[in-house]
């Protein structure tokens, strides 16, 4: 997309880019941006911290967020994903109602962990009990998931950058075992990931 740099320093999409954004907004949320890779990694972070946990446990989104073990795993997955994105030089953007700065610090800072937990629980309270991320739906229907392109991608990029992404690697590996019929989704599988 084409961009116009204003003398004020503000960057704004061209009229054409703005019009395309307006048209796309009729079908889903849309934002015209010059930070495509930062936006995409931010969205990937949300998917990496939530979708795989539902897929491997069989939990709904609300169940995942209400369960202390799965919620803490989700936070740890999100935290490492933010660190990978930043190490890759991406400018991450707020997404999913979460403060990504606090998410990045949540593993080491009790106040950041508490703040992120409150944000996650606020989103959980607004969800239907039946809401299930697409990867969880794929597992229920016996379809191949996007795990290699979500948790697997974070694992590969993080490993290349020297960042601890062992949880993403474990989530990806367990979901692949479920896809092959070697395991069945269960909250008990959380212990394979967090131990």
pLDDT at 180: 96
pTM of the model: 0.86
CA atoms within 13 A on the CB side of 64: 29
Q: DSSP code of 108?
A: T
Q: What share of the chain is helix, strand, coil (3-state, %, to 5)?
A: 65, 5, 30
Give the pair of three-digit tokens for residue 25: 């907004």
Give the pair of three-digit tokens for residue 180: 């092959």
* Alpha-carbon gap, residue 98 to 181, rounded angstroms: 34
Tens digits of pLDDT across the chain (195 residues): 444 333 344 445 688 888 888 888 888 877 788 888 998 999 999 999 999 999 999 999 999 999 999 999 999 999 999 999 999 999 998 888 888 999 999 999 999 999 999 999 998 888 888 889 999 999 999 999 999 999 999 999 999 999 999 999 999 999 999 999 999 999 999 999 998
Closest CA to 65 of 13, 127, 7: 127
Q: Which residue has the tokens 């606020």?
A: 122
Architecture of domain 36-194: Orthogonal Bundle (1.10)
3-state secondary structure of 1: coil
Mind spelling out the 3-state secondary structure of 46-105? HHHHHHHHHHHHCCCHHHHHHCHHHHHHHHHHHHHHHHHHHHCCCCCCCECCECHHHHHH
Domain boundaries for CATH 1.10.1040.10 within the chain:
36-194
pLDDT at 25: 85
């Amino acid at each position: 997309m084409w961009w116009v740099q204003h003398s004020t320093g503000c960057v704004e999409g061209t009229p054409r880019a703005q019009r395309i954004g307006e048209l796309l907004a009729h079908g889903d949320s849309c934002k015209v941006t010059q930070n495509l890779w930062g936006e995409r990694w931010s969205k990937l972070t949300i998917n990496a911290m939530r979708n795989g946990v539902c897929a491997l446990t069989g939990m709904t989104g609300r169940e995942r967020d209400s369960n202390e073990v799965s919620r803490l795993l989700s936070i740890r997955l999100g935290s490492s994903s933010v660190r990978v994105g930043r190490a890759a030089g991406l400018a991450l953007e707020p997404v999913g109602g979460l403060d990504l700065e606090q998410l990045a610090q949540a593993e080491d800072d009790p106040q950041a962990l508490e703040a992120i937990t409150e944000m996650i629980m606020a989103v959980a309270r607004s969800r239907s009990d039946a809401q299930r991320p697409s990867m969880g739906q794929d597992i229920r229907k016996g379809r191949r998931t996007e795990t290699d392109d979500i948790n697997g991608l974070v694992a590969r990029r993080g490993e290349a950058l020297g960042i601890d992404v062992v949880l993403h690697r474990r989530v990806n590996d367990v979901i692949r075992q479920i896809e092959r019929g070697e395991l069945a989704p269960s909250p008990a599988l959380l212990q394979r990931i967090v131990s």
